[in-house]
Structure 1
Amino acid sequence: MSDHPGEDASQRWRENVDRRGVDADTVAEIVRLHGVGPDDLAVLDGLDEIVDPAGASFFLLPCDASADDVRRAVIMTYVVNAGTGYGASGPVTDFAATPYSAGEAQRIVDRQRRNAWSYSLVVPFVHRNGGRLVTTPNGMLMGLGGNRLLGLFSQRGGTTYGDVFVLNIGRGIDPVAELRAVVLSGRSRHQREDGTTFAGSVDLVRLMHHEERHSQQWAAEGPARFVASYLWEQVRGRNDTEEDAGLSDGGYR
C-alpha cells in the first residue's frame, strides 16, 4: 500500500482506463467537471478490495463509515472502474450500455443526492444489525448478512432501498465471506433454508444494472411515492417497476 493518499486508487484507475480503452478526453473531462484528485480517491485507501472475474473492483466498507465517506466511496468506485462492464459481453441485455463518461458520473451524483436518506439511514441500519456492504462499479451499494430484523427487509433475491441493494442472505453466515463469494463468482447468490448458500444463475453485472434502475426509481419518485406505487402495483397484479428495471437482467425471465 502506498504512503501517498489516493495513489493506490489512482494506479487502479489508470489500469482500468487502459484495460477498457477509455480515451484521454473522457478521463480529462471527468477530472475537470468533478474535480477528481488524490484527496477524493483517498476515500478508498485502506478498504478491502474484492475483484470480480472481469477485473472490476468492489470495496468493503467499515461499519463506522460516515454517510459522507460512503457516498464519496460509491462515486469514486464508479470513477476508478472506468466502466461497469454492462453489455460488454455475453447474452443480449435489456438495455443498451451507457458509456463511461463525466455525464454518467454526474447522473450518479444527482441520484445520490436524491437518495441521500439511504446513506444516512439505511447504511447504518445495515451495519447496526450485523450486515456488511460493498461499493459497486455502477455507483451504488450491495450488502447482505445480519440478524432477523435486517432479514425482514430483504425479499426474494434481494431488495433495493435508495442506493442500497440488500441480498436476501441473512443469519448464520459470515457477511464478509459471503460478499466476497458473490463478487468472486460474478453471479447472484442465494441461501437455502438450512442456511447454506450457493451461486445463482444471474450475472452480477446485469443484476446490479437492474438494481441501479430501481435506485433511479427511488430517486425519481421519493420514498413515500415509490412505496405507495409499488404496493398499488401488487394490488393490481402488475409488475411495472420490475419491467422498467429489466426483467431478464433481474432474473425474472
Structure 2
Amino acid sequence: MTGDGEDAVALADFLSATQGLHADIAVPTADARAVIEGYHELVDEGVLADPPAAYLREWLQHVQAQGGDPVALTQQEGVDDRTFDLLEELEVMRDPDGRAYFLITAEHGEDARRIAELTELLAGGEPSSNAWRRDANSWTFDTWFGDGDIDLVLDDGAALAATPHGIFMAVGEDRLMPSTTDLFAYEGGTMWGEIFMVNDESSDPAARLRDMVENDTKDPPDSIHPLWRVLRHEEVHAQQWARYGYSGFTARYLWHNPLDPCGHPMEEEAGFEDGGYFQCVD
C-alpha cells in the first residue's frame, strides 16, 4: 500500500521499528495494513500502550492472517505490551515459512512451560485452551519426586526447543553411555507427555535441532516430510497422554501392537500421513 494521507503516515510510523521482525511484515502490504488496524484496536481498548515490540507485531500478523480477533484474543490470553519479553532472551530458529521455534537451555528450564505457551501464542494459537493438557502432563515439568522430564533432558545434554504447536522437541547428545533419548526414543521418535524425543543423537544436538527446523524436516537431508506435520501428529499424542494418564496411555499403546502402526488406533487418531506412515494410507 502506498499513497498519502493518515493511512500512509500510520503505516510509515508502524514500520519504522521493524528490526528483528520477520521480513513479511517489513513491507507495506495489505497484511501490514491489517496488522496496523489490529494494533490500533488494541490501543483503543486500552490493552496496549507502548509501540509494539517485534514479537508482539509478529503475533498480530499471525492473528490477522488467520482471521482472528486481536482484542478478544488479548482478553482471553492476557496479552499486553510485555507478554513476549521472555522470548527475547532465547535463541529463535525459523523454518522456511517463518514459524518460530525457541531453543531452551538449562538457564530457562524452570520457564519451559511458559515458553511453550508463548511460542504457541506467537504462532496465533490459543495456549489457554491447552492448559488442561499441560496440567495433566505436569510430570513433564516437575514431579513429587523432584525434577520433571524437562530437567532430565537438559541435564542429559540434549537440545530442547519449544515449537509453534506448543509442545517440545528434543535431540540427544551422541556419546558412549545411553542418553535419555536413547532410552525413550524409538523408530523416528517418541512422544513422552509434552516432549517429542527425536531418535537422532548428535555431537552437537543444538546444531542438529537447528538444522531440522531450518529445513522443516526431522531427517535432513534425507527426508522432505515437513516437520510441522510430524509435530501436529505428536501434539495429538500429547493429548492422548493427558487424556489417559501415564499408566493409561502406556497400557493402551502397548495393548495394540506398537510395531503395526497401520492397525494402531492411537496412531490413526494422530494421523497416519502427518506421522509419516504413508504405507497406512489407501
Deviations 1:204-245 (A, max 9, x none): 111110000000000000111111111111289641211111
Q: Which consecutive unaligned segments of at least 5 residues does structure 2 have?
A: 1-18, 21-49, 143-147
Cα distance, 1:186 vs. partner? 0.9
Cα distance, 1:39 vs. partner? 3.8
The amino acid that maps onto 2:155 is: R
Q: Which consecutive unaligned segments of at least 5 residues does structure 1 have?
A: 83-99, 190-196
The amino acid that maps onto 1:232 is: W
Instruction: Name the counterpart of 1:9.
Output: 55
Instruction: Measure the CA separation in 2 of the matches of 1:247 and 1:33.
Output: 33
| TM-score, scaled relative to structure 2 | 0.71
CA contact (8 A) 1:115 1:219 kept: yes
Given candidates 161, 172, 176, the residue that maps to 1:134 is: 161
Given candidates 80, 101, 104, the residue that maps to 2:122 is: 80
Instruction: Name the counterpart of 2:112.
Output: 70
Size of the aligned set, in residue pairs, is 219
Aligned-pair Cα RMSD in Å: 2.3
Determine whether 1:173 maps to 2:173.
Answer: no
The amino acid that maps onto 1:245 is: A
Counterpart secondary structure, 1:169: strand
CA contact (8 A) 1:202 1:250 kept: no
Given candidates 127, 137, 141, the residue that maps to 1:115 is: 137
Matches within 5 A, 1:1-253: 7-18=53-64, 20-23=65-68, 25=69, 27-67=70-110, 69-82=111-124, 100=125, 104-120=126-142, 121-146=148-173, 147=175, 148-150=178-180, 151-170=182-201, 172-189=202-219, 198-234=221-257, 238-253=263-278
Instruction: Measure the CA separation in 2 of the matches of 1:230 and 1:117.
Output: 19
The amino acid that maps onto 1:249 is: D
Structure 2 vs 1, CA of residues 126 and 235 (structure 1 numbering), >3 Å: closer, same or farther? closer
If asked which structure has higher relative contact order (CA below 8 Å, sep 6+), I would say 1
| TM-score, scaled relative to structure 1 | 0.79
Q: Higher helix share goes to which structure?
A: 2
Q: If you compute each CA radius of gyration, which structure gives the higher value, 1 or 2?
A: 2
Deviations 1:136-184 (A, max 9, x none): 11111111022523212111100111111011111x4211111111011
